[in-house]
Amino acid sequence: MAAPFETMQLGKASAPPASPEEAVLDRVPNPHPDSPYLARFTCPEFTSICPVTGQPDFGILVIDYVPGKWLVESKSLKLYLGAFRNHGAFHEDCTVGIGRKLVELLEPVFFRIGGYWYPRGGIPIDVFWQHGEAPKNIWLPDQGVAPYRGR
């Protein structure tokens, strides 16, 4: 039987995936499944491609979740998010699609993602998606990204 981390990308050279569909997200056991807590990932330089114009889109992603049995392995998350650089999708599709993929993988108690996108055509588009309800004993801080005022 293989060691639990043997097949993961962690600790190994990993080529950047060409697309989100090719990216592999790894999960690891939650060392504290009996103690609810919030984990946060912030991706301040997220990029994707406009599916119509082919121009780059830039945003800040903030991912908050209360783990159940699983944690997302951070290197695999970094590679997965980086795979969007050449991926054509609207802001809503990127944000909600990432959230759904992580919820499917992790089966968290609670999950939310905020996509804070920089303006295209003069209009910023912020996208928010949530799965489940935050437990009452969880500190759920503000995501820390100000409403658009020339960020």
Q: CA–CA separation, 42 vs 64, rounded Å?
A: 9
Q: CA–CA separation, 35 vs 145, rounded Å?
A: 28
Cα distance from N-terminal residue to C-terminal residue, the chain: 51
User: What DSSP designation does 120 have?
Assistant: B
Given 26, 43, 57, 94, the catalytic residue? 57
Q: Clarify whether 93 is annotated catalytic.
A: no
Q: Clarify whether 57 is annotated catalytic.
A: yes
Q: What is the dihedral of CA 143, 67, 2, 25, to 10 degrees?
A: -40
Given 50, 94, 126, 142, the catalytic residue? 50
CA angle 36, 40, 42 (to 5 degrees): 175
Q: CA–CA separation, 30 vs 34, rounded Å?
A: 9
Q: CA–CA separation, 126 vs 20, rounded Å?
A: 21
Catalytic sites, residue numbers: 50, 57
